[in-house]
Amino acid sequence: MAAFDWFWRAMGSSPTKNQKQSRAIVAGAGAERYRDAEDAELRAAAAEAVDQREIVDGEVERDGGIADAPQLLAALREIARRSIDLDPFDVQLQGTVRLLAGDVIEMATGEGKTLSGAMAAAGFALQGKRVHIVTVNSYLARRDDAWMGPMFDFLGLSHGAIHEDLTPEQRRDVYRRDIIFGAINEIGFDVLRDHLIIRREDEVRSPADVAIIDEADSVMVDEALVPLVLAGSEPGPAPMSRITALVKSMTEGVHFTVSPDHRSVFLTDDGAHFVERHLGLDSLYGTAEEQGGSTGKRKADGGEQQPAGQVLVQVNVALHAEHLLQRDVHYIVREGKVALIDSSRGRVADLQRWPDGLQAAVEAKEGLQVTEGGRILDQITIQALVGMYPEVCGMTGTALAAGDQLRQFYNLYVSVIEPNVPTQREDEPDRVYATGEERDRAVIEHIVEVQASGQPVLVGTQDVAESERIADDLTQAGVECAVLNAKNHEAEARVIAEAGRPGRVTVSTQMAGRGTDIKLGGADESERQDVLDHGGLRVVGVGRFRSQRLDNQLRGRAGRQGDPGSSVFFVSLEDDMVAVGGAGSELRAQPEEDGLMPHKRVLQFVDHCQRVTEGQMLDIHATTWKYNKLITDQRAIINERRRVLLDTDAAWQDLSYHDVDKAKELEGDGVPKNVLEQAAREIMLYHLDQHWSDHLAYLDDIRESIHLRAIARESPVDEFHRLSIAAFGELAEAAVRDARETFTAATIDHGGAHLDGLGLKKPSATWTYMVNDNPLAGSGGSVVGSIAQMFR
């Protein structure tokens, strides 16, 4: 491997160096070193190992480092044995070392990442650092806290889990502890709610020093740019209902065209004229001046007038919903509501929705009640949330393939930890077919053959619709199978528990098993030997995913902890990934009679297509990051302003200076100083929050129409930056000006500031959700992208 060190370094990893260092440290943590030690001696050894002291100018200072890593690992090894009855493998201790060094570790499925993360958390906490172990859902947070908790108790470290059932006071208590488990969305929503407090004592979340991210590639890459949103009860504008009906009446090829990869939709000239005629617009693309007025608005639906540019955006959003978003692929309809599907995990994305216009357009398409949008009070991307932690490390089974993103956006490097027992899984070459129909026929024949041998089979599909189609085909072929997808996710534990039994066939989307293991022989492993004799679990992938990392996640379900296993992927040249990644390329190959194309150049072409789609995803991430980076920087300025207002009397000093007479009058009336300071604080915070909310709405608006604004001018990102910086420059001044006017006009007495009389009311209710900002980003398209294409 030495000859390829340059390659690993370029990928953000130096596995040879890291493993050599880690093994040397672990070698010093002998398995028997503390076997006979008293409990108190163990605790003292762990504390001493992280307590490095130096004499500086005659003073004793603690630098927070680990003085003796082998001693710490040896103590933690024995503590794990005694407290949670787990005897860590050396590779788990190696993972702990690299986490403490600030890396993202790659450990194969079943190798015990949870214990490595918990031991690293203990190491950080013993240094006096508060640690968040960030999970992908609350179930895992509660499970891991209960599972690993006794080890922390042994060390005298407090711990707890954040979940949706806790009251604010209970959450506040958990956040004060040493080690906190929590789902990324729960932690993020607490951050957003804390951004709206008007008294410091109302803050729920205590700052943390370290974040250990579980399933790091999922959290930090797949969902990195998902905005978490806090919304208020003020209704927002819903798309015009007439546009939805109008789009349904339009004819493909006449009024609009859909790109060959089915990722973009374009209005034709005839389509634009069709819209103009039915909505009474002079020009769908016209500016305000061209529309003959100062606003450029025309009535639609007989109601509120809409700017022409906004009508164009709404038409494209409706076209996108109608012709690009597919039911049972991008979303399902459940209990009368649209539920989005997380493409990287195949699960329902709880609390997640598209931006209001697209969400409403899909609801209208399905004939459901259209939900009104609310006023966005604040939002933050998961990437920005992770960036709030001074120290970040992580763990996952597929980190190396995400090395580019982890290095570029988080400055994190990957350490690959070899498995405790070498893998025996056999990964066969892809079987590539000319058409999807030939591929599916071959898949069914293969599964029937394998199932008849007694080997369990896990079939991985791309989406809900495909999983149900494959399951139906298997049933018709006489093969009984279990189906696991976003429609029956509640059955996951039961289905996975039985998926390793002899002859069992499980058809699943990508949701099968992140955080859970398929045990050979079933949950009780009673038939384990039978399965081992037949070659272990057989993984059959139907189509390659847009990222090699997702393929590897599916392959990783087999061959757990040195068990035998095998995998094979069936691909067709009509697959989505091939169509997108191979657009513009030419492949010459003659298929065999059954459609199979076993040629080396065909396999290389499929690999090439996947690399292209991965590159597209990275480009999308980089571009979206440029948009969000500026918003993150502006939010930091707002947060600092809020901190000053919350923690000082700056609000009272400003407002009393600008209306000296009222200030003297209030003081003369005997209103206590603390009441006056809080009243001024609430007035200032109200207007700061209101203007920040307006600013977010403005940024959302220019993001949707940026390509219209940028025609024949600067690049969209540059134009967005120019507009957003100019708007933000006016925000603070306007908030202070309005606050001063309110101070003069408001009634202030011993009960504080009475803002309701001026109509200044905070939302009566708030709710949180996640926005899928780019619903087809994984496949190379988006609403904004579709609009942009019209002007290229």
Only one residue has tokens 């546009």, namely 243
The answer to whether the beta carbons of residues 624 and 772 sit under 8 Å apart is no
Mean pLDDT of 412-430: 93
The answer to whether the beta carbons of residues 157 and 178 sit under 8 Å apart is yes
Residue 65 — very low, low, confident or very high, per pLDDT cuts 50/70/90?
low
Higher pLDDT among residues 326 and 631, named by residue: 631
User: Any idea what the Cα angle at residue 570 is, between residues 403 and 535, rounded to 5°?
Assistant: 85
Counting Cα atoms < 13 Å in the Cβ hemisphere of 710 gives 23
Give the length of the chain. 792
Domain assignment present for residue 504? The answer is: yes
Q: Helices marked H in 559-672 — which ranges?
A: 576-581, 600-647, 650-658, 660-668
How high is the pLDDT of residue 434? 94
| pLDDT exceeds cutoff 70 at 678 | yes
Residue 708 — very low, low, confident or very high, per pLDDT cuts 50/70/90?
low
Higher pLDDT among residues 514 and 501, named by residue: 501
Q: Following CA atoms 77, 515, 224, 689 in sequence, which dihedral angle do they give, to the nearest 10 degrees?
A: -90
Q: Helices marked H in 52-165 — which ranges?
A: 69-84, 90-100, 113-126, 138-155
Contacts 24+ apart (CB under 8 A), 636-644: 637/728, 638/688, 638/692, 639/195, 641/688, 641/732, 642/195, 642/685, 642/688
Mean pLDDT of 612-639: 87
Residues 664, 670, 672, 675, CA torsion sign: negative
Q: Is 114 annotated as a binding residue?
A: yes
The answer to whether the beta carbons of residues 783 and 320 sit under 8 Å apart is yes
How high is the pLDDT of residue 142? 93
Question: Do residues 180 and 321 share a domain?
Answer: no
How high is the pLDDT of residue 5? 45
How high is the pLDDT of residue 777? 39
Closest-CA residue to 437 (of 538, 561, 542):
542
Domain assignment present for residue 674? The answer is: yes
Mean pLDDT of 300-322: 65
The answer to whether the beta carbons of residues 453 and 144 sit under 8 Å apart is no
Question: Do residues 539 and 504 share a domain?
Answer: yes
Q: Is 110 annotated as a binding residue?
A: yes
| pLDDT exceeds cutoff 70 at 90 | yes
| pLDDT exceeds cutoff 80 at 301 | no
For residue 606, the one-letter residue type is: V
Q: Helices marked H in 366-499 — which ranges?
A: 382-386, 403-410, 436-452, 464-476, 492-498
Distance CA 691, CA 629 (A): 20
Domain CATH for 312:
3.90.1440.10
Query: What does pLDDT average to over the chain?
Result: 83
Closest-CA residue to 668 (of 678, 656, 680):
656
Question: Do residues 185 and 327 share a domain?
Answer: no
How high is the pLDDT of residue 281? 81
Residues 405, 409, 413, 414, CA torsion sign: negative
Mean pLDDT of 68-82: 95
Residue 141 — very low, low, confident or very high, per pLDDT cuts 50/70/90?
very high
Question: Do residues 160 and 273 share a domain?
Answer: no
Closest-CA residue to 179 (of 108, 118, 269, 235):
118
| Residue 53 main-chain phi, psi, to 5 deg | -120, 140
The answer to whether the beta carbons of residues 542 and 459 sit under 8 Å apart is yes
| Residue 394 main-chain phi, psi, to 5 deg | -165, 175
Question: Do residues 155 and 81 share a domain?
Answer: yes
For residue 396, the one-letter residue type is: T
User: Any idea what the Cα angle at residue 630 is, between residues 625 and 636, rounded to 5°?
Assistant: 115
Domain assignment present for residue 5? The answer is: no
| pLDDT exceeds cutoff 80 at 656 | yes
Distance CA 591, CA 473 (A): 24
The answer to whether the beta carbons of residues 190 and 155 sit under 8 Å apart is no
| pLDDT exceeds cutoff 50 at 471 | yes
DSSP state for residue 238 in the 8-state scheme: P
Greatest extent of the chain over all pairs of C-alpha atoms, in Å: 97
Domain span including residue 101: 13-233+383-416
| pLDDT exceeds cutoff 70 at 711 | no
Q: Which of 614, 638, 664 is the last residue of a domain?
A: 614
Higher pLDDT among residues 749 and 3, named by residue: 749
Q: Helices marked H in 11-85 — which ranges?
A: 15-27, 39-50, 69-84
Q: Following CA atoms 126, 131, 136, 137 in sequence, which dihedral angle do they give, to the nearest 10 degrees?
A: 90
Only one residue has tokens 């079939």, namely 459
β-bridge partners, 753: 748
With H, G, I as helix, E, B as strand and everything else as coil, classify residue 693. helix
How high is the pLDDT of residue 596? 95
Region of poorest pLDDT, from 275-284, 625-634, 744-753: 275-284
How high is the pLDDT of residue 329? 74
What percentage of residues in the chain have a pLDDT greater than 70? Answer: 82
How high is the pLDDT of residue 602? 95
Residue 675 — very low, low, confident or very high, per pLDDT cuts 50/70/90?
very high
Region of poorest pLDDT, from 193-207, 552-566, 593-607, 698-712: 698-712
Q: Is 343 exposed, middle or buried (0-12, 13-18, 19+ CB in 10 A)?
A: buried
Residue 702 — very low, low, confident or very high, per pLDDT cuts 50/70/90?
confident
Distance CA 54, CA 768 (A): 48
Closest-CA residue to 555 (of 454, 413, 424, 447):
424
Domain assignment present for residue 377? The answer is: no
Q: Angle between the 650-658 and 673-709 helix axes, to the nearest 10 degrees?
A: 90
Region of poorest pLDDT, from 54-58, 248-252, 361-365, 712-716: 54-58
Q: Which of 172-181, 489-498, 557-566, 762-771 has the highest mean pLDDT?
A: 172-181
- Number of domains comprising the chain: 4
How high is the pLDDT of residue 60? 36
Domain assignment present for residue 8? The answer is: no
DSSP state for residue 426 in the 8-state scheme: E
| pLDDT exceeds cutoff 50 at 8 | no
Domain CATH for 702:
1.10.3060
How high is the pLDDT of residue 781? 35
Parallel, antiparallel, or unpaired: how do β-strands 457-460 and 505-508 relate?
Answer: parallel
For residue 725, the one-letter residue type is: I
Question: Do residues 80 and 177 share a domain?
Answer: yes
Question: Do residues 393 and 358 share a domain?
Answer: no
pLDDT in tens, 212-239: 999 999 899 888 887 888 888 654 444 4
How high is the pLDDT of residue 293? 35
Counting Cα atoms < 13 Å in the Cβ hemisphere of 782 gives 20
Question: Do residues 327 and 389 share a domain?
Answer: no
Closest-CA residue to 345 (of 469, 459, 219):
219
User: Any idea what the Cα angle at residue 116 is, between residues 111 and 120, rounded to 5°?
Assistant: 165
Question: Do residues 652 and 544 share a domain?
Answer: no
Residue 17 — very low, low, confident or very high, per pLDDT cuts 50/70/90?
low
Domain assignment present for residue 459? The answer is: yes
Mean pLDDT of 527-544: 95
The answer to whether the beta carbons of residues 443 and 457 sit under 8 Å apart is no
Q: Is 113 annotated as a binding residue?
A: yes
| Residue 239 main-chain phi, psi, to 5 deg | -60, 150
Domain assignment present for residue 558? The answer is: yes
How high is the pLDDT of residue 56? 40
Q: Classify each residue of 18-52 as buried b or exposed e, where b means 16 or more C-beta atoms within 10 Å of its C-beta.
A: bbebbeebbeebeeebbeebeeeebbebbeebbbe
Q: Which of 45-59, 316-330, 730-744, 748-762 has the highest mean pLDDT?
A: 730-744
User: Any idea what the Cα angle at residue 409 is, between residues 406 and 413, rounded to 5°?
Assistant: 30
Q: Is 112 annotated as a binding residue?
A: yes
pLDDT in tens, 594-623: 999 999 999 999 999 999 998 888 887 888
Domain CATH for 501:
3.40.50.300
How high is the pLDDT of residue 314? 79
Parallel, antiparallel, or unpaired: how do β-strands 210-214 and 227-235 relate?
Answer: unpaired
Residue 763 — very low, low, confident or very high, per pLDDT cuts 50/70/90?
confident
Question: Do residues 38 and 83 share a domain?
Answer: yes
Cα 541 to its chain centre, rounded Å, is 24
Question: Do residues 56 and 187 share a domain?
Answer: yes
Residue 468 CB neighbours (<10 A): 17
DSSP state for residue 219 in the 8-state scheme: I
Question: Do residues 555 and 669 share a domain?
Answer: no
Residue 276 — very low, low, confident or very high, per pLDDT cuts 50/70/90?
confident
Domain assignment present for residue 506? The answer is: yes
